[in-house]
Amino acid sequence: MFIPRRVGKIVPDSLRRPNKSEVTPMCRNIKTLFNFDPPVTEEEVRAASLQFVRKISGFTNPSKANEAVFLAAVDEVAGVSTRLLRALETTAPPKNREEEAAKARARAVERFGAT
């Protein structure tokens, strides 16, 4: 249990917000899709949804018994993600895909070295 000093209430660990030092990085295969120019495509949303369902299910390729449920989950996550991306608002200018990709490559070189 975590007890905030100011509030004095007992908050279950599952409900408390982690400190920045406790935050684990998001799955590297799932990319940010919001606020890009050109806007995100349906294929990109579906690919991110597939990665998310793979991550939480633990299946890269589900068995025949789980395939229908797996694909239905991908469809549902893609639908919810599309609605979320359409509803989000920002005052920030859209990010350029090529510039963001170049930054990601530079970070990879710094992290892993040139290949």
CA distances 53 to 8, 10, 42, 69, 109, Å, are: 38, 33, 16, 11, 29
Q: Which of 73, 67, 66, 36 is nearest to 52 (CA)?
A: 73
pLDDT of 8 higher than 70: no
Q: Would you say 42 and 32 are in contact if contact means Cβ atoms under 8 Å apart?
A: no
List helix spans (H) across 1-115: 42-57, 64-87, 97-112
Instruction: Tell me what percent of the residues of the chain surpass a pLDDT of 90.
Output: 60
Tell me the per-residue pLDDT of 43-71, one tens digit each, with 9 for 90 and over: 999 999 999 999 999 999 899 999 999 99
Q: Which of 25, 72, 78 is nearest to 52 (CA)?
A: 78
Where is average pLDDT lowest: 31-35, 43-47, 79-83? Answer: 31-35
| Predicted local confidence at residue 114, as pLDDT | 77
How far apart, in whole angstroms, are the C-alpha atoms of residue 47 and residue 55?
A: 12
| Predicted local confidence at residue 102, as pLDDT | 94
